Amino acid sequence: MPQVLPQKDDEYFCTSVNISSEDIFIKKFDPNADSNRIHHIIIFGCRNLHRRTQLYPNHWPCSHSQLCPGMRVIYAWGRNAPSLQLPKDVGFHVGGGLSDINFLVLQAHYAHPLSEHDSSGVRLLYTIQPQPYVAGIFLLASLNGMIPPHQSQSHVDINCRLNRDPITVFAYRVHAHALGTVISGYRYSHNKKRWDLIAKGNPQWPQAFYPMDNLMQIDSQDIIAARCTYNSTQRNTLTNMGSTAGDEMCNLYLMYYSENPMLNNDDSMSRTFFYSLNEQRSDMESCEDIEFDSEFYRNLPDGNDQPLPRNLTMEQSAIGQH
């Protein structure tokens, strides 16, 4: 951030950079931030900006509105998460003539005022060498979930059909606020007719992208589901989903890769396919609330809402203690 000074609770600031001059492949995200100062950071890829005055070193107040045309998530950070290195042969493709991402927007959420200016951010390490696989993020998020007060355990659910070309998930990130105890994600295989665990995380630990022990392919007709579990025993009022620290969130980010169509032997076919894919992608990259409301799709495997075993190292890292 370009030396911003938050002066009230739950301020959001954004700045942006133009990366349209050449095709690049991001290989690593290296955050320069501290959770004692900043609540979370999100990097969005954008086709364009609303105003060119939004370019760095300028900044503007922003929240969860449509920040830019063609907006989609590239990276997210919270609770002192460490750097993220992508797997070999995988990169986020941005910039240049074959990507529809011409700008990167960094959004920072400051939960509380600061007494001095802040320049938190994320360093990106990249290559101009095309990678065999391109990375992306599929976000499961609740917009309308509600958490009743005085409950030791309550759920907010999300599910939808993938309904796009197959993806291979290799990392995940969970995000909730103070009430979140565990977030679990599942795939219902259209072919195998069964639920399989994709990921399970504690939102009170560093909100990093954690590599999966086993890669998981999700096919077009598969169902993806997420369940966020909360403990509201200390709350006296209903808690809604929202952007402030006093609200809650239910987010599961799935980082995936798929084959890079740029490397197709037929260059003209590759370009046609790639542009077609990008035109549709903004409608494919998220799953919001409930698509399938039957008991079958809500009856997730046993243990879905059981917290992970305590890990003191993770807990201390999340609050800046070592």
Binding site annotation covers 177? yes
Give the pLDDT confidence score for residue 273 in this predicted structure.
Answer: 41
- Global pTM reads 0.88
Q: In 3-state terms, what secondary structure has residue 185?
A: strand
Residues 28-68: pLDDT tens digits?
A: 999 999 999 999 999 999 999 999 999 999 999 998 678 99
Nearest of 25, 14, 9, 91 to residue 50 by alpha carbon: 14
Give the pLDDT confidence score for residue 266 in this predicted structure.
Answer: 55
Asked if residue 9 has pLDDT above 70, the reply is: yes
Give the pLDDT confidence score for residue 282 in this predicted structure.
Answer: 43
Question: What average pLDDT score do residues 288-317 get?
Answer: 92
Class of CATH domain 1-131: mainly beta
- Active site positions, annotated: 39-40, 107, 109, 175, 177, 249
Residues 60-102: pLDDT tens digits?
A: 999 867 899 989 999 999 999 999 999 999 999 999 878 989 9
**Peptide bond before residue 57 is cis, with ω within 30 degrees of 0:** yes
Residues 127-178: pLDDT tens digits?
A: 999 999 999 999 999 999 999 999 999 999 999 999 988 999 999 999 999 9
Binding site annotation covers 109? yes
Q: Do the beta carbons of residue 210 and residue 258 sit within 8 Å?
A: no
Nearest of 18, 23, 11, 91 to residue 57 by alpha carbon: 18
Binding site annotation covers 93? no
Q: Which CATH architecture has domain 141-258+289-322?
A: Sandwich (2.60)
Domain boundaries, the chain: 1-131, 141-258+289-322
Binding site annotation covers 322? no
Residue 284 banded pLDDT, cuts 50, 70, 90: very low
Residue 265 banded pLDDT, cuts 50, 70, 90: low
Distance of CA 145 to the CA centre of its chain: 18
Neighbours of 238 (CB within 10 A): 10
Asked if residue 277 has pLDDT above 60, the reply is: no
Give the pLDDT confidence score for residue 279 in this predicted structure.
Answer: 44
Q: Which amino acid is at 311?
A: N
Q: What Å distances lie between residue 161 and 31, 137, 190, 230, 241, CA to CA?
A: 33, 16, 10, 25, 23
Structure token digits, residue 231: 């403990």
Nearest of 45, 46, 42, 101 to residue 75 by alpha carbon: 42
